[in-house]
Structure 1
Amino acid sequence: MQCNICEVRCEINKHSMGRCGTYVSTGNKITQYPGMGYLGAYPISIEAVPLHHFYPSGKFLQIFSTGCNFQCPGCMARMPASSRPPSQQSSLSPSEIVKRVLQQECLGVVSAINDPVANYYLFRDLAVQAQEKNLLVGCSTNCYFTSETLEEFGQLVDFVNVGIKGYSDRGYKNCGVTSSTPVFRNISRLFDMGVHVETSVAYSKGNEDDVIKVAEAVSDISSTIPLHVMRFLPFGYAPIELEPSVGEAEKICSALHRYLDFVYLFNSPGTKLLNTYCPECGNLLIEREFYRPFGSRLVKPWVSHKCSCGYSIPVQGKASTEGFSEAGLIDSYSISQAFSMVHAVLTCLGVLDDYKLMDIWGEDKLMDVWSKVSNPKTLTQIHYMIRQPYSYLEFIRFIAEKANMPKKGEELVSFIHKRLKIVQNLSAGKSSYYVYYCMGSPFFALNAGRMENNLVTFSGGVSINKQLQKEGKLGVSVSPSFINEHNPGVIFVSGFLSRPLDEFYALCQKYEIHVDAVTQHRVYEIPPSWDFGSPRWILGLMYIADKLHPGKLEVDLKKEADDFYLQFYGMRFKEARPNRSFHRPSSGIWPHTQTLYNDLKMEMPKQGSTKNFDNEIIQPFNILPALISSSKDDRKGVKPQ
């Protein structure tokens, strides 16, 4: 039977569960996989979806399950999106979700992380039960529904954030589907149906024209629809060269204001473009601060939506007078991040084949981790384990035990422990430097208790971040006066969300940050994933120690990096093309995937021309992920679309 939920229109039969991998045929109709439910349910602030013009600071219960109809390269939620359906014992039913919404006094429920397209019948049951309790219902979605399904879907939801892959068909073909047309058609129809619609689009270097066309297309529907610009972060196979700087992203957002009244910039700590400005007079109406790559939070409650010039901002629903802050790793981005950190350890243990990784994840061994990661207590436990150098070793042992690879786990622990002792002996003499650790901007300080600041203190430095009283996800905004008053002699810029040093120094000059680290050019950008998220932090620790104790570490950092990469990735550091991935050391072809790469290359005449295959293989939206996904579908008996 043909599935008509989305425009992929998979054939569902006894041999195929479709692209989503979550549907079955009972002979005369298509249903959800038996016993399928939701894997997690956590309260979040609505800005985490993100939505900026719907019940500001409202508390919603975020839910997620598995499956997706898209196969996007570099997807941050790839683990849950591509996992097999959960068993009834490890998931939550719609009635249990509604019960939690009421118990936790949330305004409603929002489906995120994986797309509700993959769980449509489950989501429909939930929406109906939620509406009966007068609860709000919404989701993040690629909105690739068929017209017939959208008519029903529009009656089920109060709000959506539609993730747009681009205006041209190319972006959609890179995700394994054919066209952008259904998405813009569906956005228009949802808007006409009275659903609150906000949109998101990724901006990478080279797709400026496409992003502008997205803004034009959205403005044709309504210029009041907010557009959230996601500064592209290269994960998976994507090379870091495609990541625009924060400054470049701010420039394109300014260009988009020619078409849309409200444009917001994400993945950019310290930017002012999370704020809402009056489209008529330009007045600052509400201030937000960076709270996570895909989220923000209000600095103060948004009580009035009317500007002094008389313009009324189209915001739906009453704003909460008290903002809700998620603890630890409990929110959509942080949950995905937690899986990425587990993935990073597994990679170092030798689980390099994605098929094997998914098999391990689905077995009781790591399904135990998966179900525990869905448990707030374990999320809290992991949150604290990854914040200190020695407790991180226990995190490695925890994952190694679940993967039944204790010996490999101890090899990794031993490598890190030996170098911890070297730095610990060096730092016994302390460093004379006061140290400031920021992310992306000099005005965004990492939280005092984060791993990065603990690496500084472990190395003997004095972290001025420890003076911060306020906390937020990743960090908090600070003023130039805070930096100047503490006068750090060294500034480290996070390896996860960074900013080119020329932009960094320019901002310091513009806002008169005249500390020793700036005037004496001791601002250092940590290599990607060398200070958080991956066991590679041990290399970051040695890098930090070397800067805080010049000439005293007596360790060849290049050799240390080569040793780590050879032992745990099977490649030299100098051969790696780094990006923002926690688990991947390179955006190119790993040695262990070379055979697969060669096999695919041999198959290319059947698929199309082999011209430029070697160059295209490392592009962010390349053919390799789609071919791998097709191979995986064939393994499962899924008919490739």
Structure 2
Amino acid sequence: MQCNVCEFRCEINEYSRGRCGTYICTGDTIVQDPGLGYLGAYPISIETVPLLHYHPSGKFLQVFSTGCNFQCSGCVARLLASSKPLSHPSLTPSQVVDKALQQECLGVVSTLNEPAANYYLFRDLAVQAKEKGLLAGCSTNCYFTGETLNKLGQLVDFVNVGIKGYSDNSYINCGVPSSAPVFRNISQLFDMGVHVETSVVYSRGNEDDVRKVAEAVSDISPTIPVQVMRFIPFGDAPLELEPSAGEAEKLCTSLRKHVDYVYLFNSPGTDLLNTYCSECGSLLSEREFYGPMGSRPLKPWISYTCNCGKSVPVKGKNATESFNEEGFIGGYRISRAFGMVHAVLTCLGILDDSRLMDIWGEISDTETLMRVYHMIQQPYDYLEFIRLIAEKANVPEKGDELISFIRTRLELVHYLAAENSSHKVYYCMGSPLFALNSDRMENNLVTFSGGVSINKQLQKEGKPGINISPSFINEHNPDTIFISGFLSRPLDEFYGLCRQYGIDADAVKQQRIYAVPPSWDFGSPRWILGLMYIADKLHPGNSGIDLQKEADEFYLQFYGMPFEEATPNRSFHRPSSGPWPRHVMRCIHV
């Protein structure tokens, strides 16, 4: 039988479950795999979805399942999105609704994986949610058939449509023949009165395509917000495709000639997460970076009307207080926690995705995720995280091998740290004005190396950090500045921003600003290399650390490849972009 949920219209029979792998045929009916349910349900602020013009600061229950009909390179949640139904217990729609009511959420929202892969499950959730007076919505690639969209538009109150680009080629890269159904569906949802916001991926080289997306959205309505997602190669895509934050800011500015509201994500410290009046340019709502694809209001959005009289099209009342998610709970930080588990398993030689999913199922409850969150913030505590995952994977001896490697280097750096306790360090992410939280692993690496982290003076908290003023940096006058290896910015742009903001600390004057290599300071066991990198910079000419040798030993022992063969990306678990060489695959399974 033909499945008519999405435009692929797969044939479902006893031999095929369709492109997304979640549908089966029973008699003359296509149904959802009976084993499919929601793998998690966490309360989030609506800006984490992200949605910026809908019930600002509202608390919603985020849910996700498995399955996706697209195959996008660099996907932020590839395994969660593309895996087949899991064997461990999952939540039913009625359980999700009960949970949303208990936690006093305004509604439910499906994210992380594609709802087209769970259409019947999501349909039941939306119906039950609305029966209980809850709102319902989703993040989607919006590749539904016209007949399905007609039904979906009557069930949902809001959607964030992830657009891959305007050209067919941008969709072909995701294994999809054409972009036309997506823009058709956006127009139809908007006409049906559904609140629509759009997000578009910006990778280096597709600037014209992003502009055409803005033009196409404007043809539907210039009031539809366009969220530009600066491409971060979390998967197998090369680092060269990642545009700098500065390049992304310039592109976003140019889009404002087409649409009224343009926002930039994945760029810590940018002011393009704020809402400005489309008529006079006045600041109306101020936000800061809140993890991958997320944002957080800095204060309640009091009025949707500017002093000049221009109104912003926002649906719903603003909550008086924004809901703040804890640890890894909520939004795309769930996928980061997943990536950290994946990173450890890779170092333990486990590349079987099905084993990864089974282990994730054992630790994805809220209590264990909070334990993991605290484990990964301190060097020695991280060893217990490795031990936990190795035990779940039934390879304790492999865990001991990784722990031993890290512990030996910790002892070396601990010896060095005794020599210096006055070198002041500032740690930021992407922008000099976005400071990493005081309790994060990166700042603890600085302290462990013998430096004094000025970030420890910050009282306010956010995820993963907060916006600060130039005066904070100048007053504390750091000797060295490190830029996070998770989301960074080219040094020439960074120094330019320091000049623009009037930051004249010794680190700037003496050009002691360093960009930590990707995933060497957070998210992966490779942080031990980042620790040695930091220690070497804090003890120049006196550390005795041969970083090239250490990197080679780590990559050979735990990835089966020499360091020089690795082409870096932002992935926690992949030491190199693109397919791994065959000799690597053989070696890592030994």
Structure 2 equivalent of residue 216 of structure 1:
215
Structure 2: tracts of 5 or more residues without a match: none
- Is 2:8 aligned against 1:8? yes
Percent identity at matched positions?
71
Amino acid at match of 1:563: E
Whole-angstrom distance in 2 between the partners of 1:109 and 1:62: 6
Q: In terms of mean alpha carbon deviation, does 68-77 or 193-202 score higher?
A: 68-77
Report the counterpart of residue 444 of structure 2 in structure 1.
Answer: 454
Residue 51 of structure 1 is matched in structure 2 by 51
Aligned to 1:36: 36
Counterpart selection for 2:454 from 451, 464, 477: 464
Residues 5-59 of structure 1: CA deviation (Å, up to 9, x unaligned): 0001111111111111111100110001114211100000000010000000000
In structure 2, distance between residues paired with 1:448 and 1:51: 28
Give, in angstroms, the shift of residue 294 of structure 1. 0.6
Aligned residue in 2 for 1:22: 22
- Matched to 1:454, the amino acid is N
Report the CA distance between 1:593 and its aligned residue.
Answer: 7.1
2:564 to 571, 574, 592: 574
1:95 is aligned to: 94
Output the CA distance in 1 between the equivalents of 2:502 and 2:331. Answer: 37
Partner of 2:121: 122
After TM superposition, give the deviation of residue 557 of structure 1 in Å. Answer: 0.7
Partner of 1:298: 297
Counterpart amino acid of residue 359 in structure 1: S
- Looking at structure 2, the residues matched to 130 and 359 of structure 1 have their Cα atoms a distance apart, in angstroms, of 32
Counterpart in 1 of 2:73? 73
Mapped contact 2:345–2:356 kept (Cα < 8 A): no
How far apart in 2 are the matches of 1:129 and 1:237?
A: 38
Q: Which residue of 1 aligns with 2:84?
A: 84
C-alpha distance after superposition, 1:234-264 (max 9, x if no partner): 1322111111111100000011101000000
2:197 pairs with 1:198: yes
Matched with 2:169 is 170
User: What is the rounded CA distance, in whole Å, between the counterparts of 1:122 and 1:526 in structure 2?
Assistant: 43
Q: Secondary structure at the match of 2:185?
A: helix
Where does residue 361 of structure 1 map in the other structure?
Answer: 356
Matches of residues 137-536 of structure 1 in structure 2 within 5 Å? Answer: 137-352=136-351, 356=352, 358-363=353-358, 366=359, 369-373=360-364, 375-536=365-526
For 2:62, the aligned partner's letter is Q
Q: Is the 1:218–1:225 contact (alpha carbons within 8 Å) kept by the matching residues of 2?
A: yes
Name the aligned partner's letter for residue 518 of structure 2: P
> Which amino acid in 2 is paired with 1:532?
F
Closer/same/farther in 2, CA of residues 265 and 13 from structure 1, 3 Å limit: same
Letter in 1 for 2:502: E
Question: What code does the residue aligned with 2:501 have?
Answer: Y
State the 1:76 CA deviation. Answer: 1.2
Q: 1:595 to 1:360 in 2, by over 3 A?
A: closer
Instruction: Please give the alpha-carbon distance, in whole angstroms, between the structure 1 residues aligned to 2:533 and 2:550.
Output: 10
1:544 pairs with one of 510, 516, 534: 534
Conserved? CA contact 2:342–2:356, under 8 Å: no
Code of the aligned partner of 1:516: D
Residues in 1 aligned to 2:565 and 2:66: alpha-carbon distance in whole angstroms: 35
Contact 1:84 1:362 in 2 (8 A): no
Paired AA for residue 431 in structure 2: S
Question: What is aligned with 2:64?
Answer: 64
Structure-2 change in CA distance of 1:535 and 1:72 (3 Å): same
Q: 1:431·1:549 contact (CA, 8 Å) conserved in 2?
A: no
Alpha carbons 2:266, 2:291 under 8 Å: kept: yes
Ranges of 4+ aligned residues in structure 1 off by more than 6 Å: 593-596
SS of residue paired to 1:140: strand
Structure 2: which amino acid aligns with 1:234? P
* C-alpha separation in 2, matches of 1:141 and 1:328: 25
Question: For residue 191 of structure 1, what is the amino acid of its counterpart?
Answer: F
Figure out how many residues of one structure are paired with residues of the other and give that number: 586
Aligned partner letter, 2:41: A
Give secondary structure in 2 for the equivalent of 1:31: strand
> What CA distance in whole angstroms lies between the structure 2 residues aligned with 1:361 and 1:574?
28
8 Å contact kept, 1:157–1:195: yes
CA distance in 2, matches of 1:22, 1:456: 46
- For 1:471 and 1:595, the matched residues in 2 are separated by 41
SS of corresponding position for 1:514: coil
State the secondary structure of the residue aligned to 1:230: strand
Question: Which residue number corresponds to residue 602 of structure 1?
Answer: none
Measured against aligned partners, the alpha-carbon deviations of 1:345-384 in whole angstroms (never above 9, x if no partner) come to: 11111123xxx2x221355xx2xx32431x1101100101
Q: Which runs of 5+ in 1 are unaligned?
A: 597-641
**Partner letter of residue 317 of structure 1?**
G
Amino acid at match of 2:266: N
Higher relative contact order (Cα pairs below 8 Å, separated by 6+ residues):
1
Aligned partners of 2:173, 2:500: CA distance in 1, in Å?
Answer: 41
Task: Quote how far apart the aligned CAs of 1:594 are.
Answer: 7.6
Q: Whole-Å Cα distance in 1 between the matches of residues 145 and 451 of structure 2?
A: 58
Normalised by the size of structure 1, how large is the TM-score?
0.90
> Mean Cα displacement is larger for which, 173-182 or 524-533?
173-182
Q: 1:94 to 1:163 in 2, by over 3 A?
A: same
Query: Residues 275 and 287 of structure 1 are in contact (CA less than 8 Å); yes or no, is this contact kept in structure 2?
Result: yes
